[in-house]
Structure 1
């Protein structure tokens, strides 16, 4: 299927009653397709990111279209949302202190996969770390001394099922704590199994 066909197919999966903050609708997407403005159409569809849950097929189709348009960040975001559809959403506020052992910014688009202390212990009482990639909302990087809202994509989602809003946990890239996090939101999977990986 070509890019316009993929975008058209994705738009058909969005309920007509759904609109973004700017009141953009699926009809606006169709107008973009008629004018061959495929990148803008894809961006409009991506704006449904925090609206009602959309089906797995929506995100997978959008990822395919973004990939064909060579829009790397959009492709990564759509794969991320497909993963969340299959495994659930975990959002948290991450604080990277100025005195953190990490001296360079945390990259924002799912490329970093650190370990996290989310409260699990080994039989001997040591920390049993869990692995999760992170995505910074609304920014490309997090500098030391800053905080931001993140989304997490756990390598083993079942290890993260006990998290609740307000709970604190830590990020590690070695022995000392790199950053601290507070859970903002936990949502269960909405269905489907993503075909790709993050």
Structure 2
């Protein structure tokens, strides 16, 4: 399929009452496609928020379109959103410990590559913290500077371990055993119950 067909199929998966953050709907996507504004149509489709209706197929269509348009950062972002469809959405506000108090000396990058350990309230059989790994993606900023704070999304490597968390819960970030950051959960959305495990 070419880019317009991929985006048209994705638009067909958007519920009639769904609106993007900018208030646009699937018909707006189709209008942009009629004008050959492919990247704008793709941006509108990306802007919809809806873990409960966005399917793996939806994200696969957007990934394929972004690949054909050579939009590498969009491809990585759509893969992330695809994972959230499968495993659920976790958002949090992260505050890093300042470097002079034992915190990170490097910023937390936006790219979803950093995989620190997290204390999420689980303990081992002998009563120690059972730390869990989750990848960080910084929202709406290129990075969080050392000692700074910002909004993040988390993708746990073992999502089931995180299901007990609720907005307002506080978890700690570790690189080794020392605490290097504290995150307050702001949003938890479980995955779609009907999401397939893989295409």
Report if TM-score (shorter chain) is over 0.5. Answer: yes
Whole-Å separation in 2 of the counterparts to 1:92 and 1:49: 16
State the Cα deviation string for residues 103-146 of structure 1 (Å, max 9, x = none). 11101131111111112222222222101111112112111232
Q: CA RMSD in A?
A: 1.9
Counterpart for residue 184 of structure 2: 182
Aligned with residue 192 of structure 1, among 191, 195, 198 = 195
Return the offset for 1:160: 0.7
- Mapped partners of 1:113, 1:51: distance in 2: 23
Task: Determine the structure 2 residue equivalent to 1:138.
Answer: 140
5 Å-filtered alignment, 1:24-43, equals 24-43=24-43
In structure 1, the residue matched to 2:72 is 72
In structure 1, list runs of 5 or more residues that go unmatched: none
Offset of residue 52 of structure 1: 6.4
Alignment of structure 1 residues 61-140 onto 2, 5 Å: 61-99=61-99, 100-140=102-142
Higher mean C-alpha deviation, range 175-184 or range 99-108: 99-108
Q: Go from structure 1 to structure 2 and tell me whether the alpha carbon gap of 1:188 and 1:52 turns closer, same or farther (over 3 Å shift).
A: closer
Extract unaligned runs of 5+ from structure 2.
Answer: none
Instruction: Indicate if the aligned counterparts of 2:21 and 2:48 stay in contact, CA closer than 8 A.
Output: no
Deviation at 1:55, TM superposition (A): 2.5
Contact 2:85–2:195 (Cα < 8 Å) also in 1: yes
**TM-score, normalisation: structure 2:** 0.90
Deviations 1:134-192 (A, max 9, x none): 11121121112321121111111111111111111111112211111111121111131
Alpha-carbon distance in structure 2 between the residues aligned to 1:193 and 1:179: 34
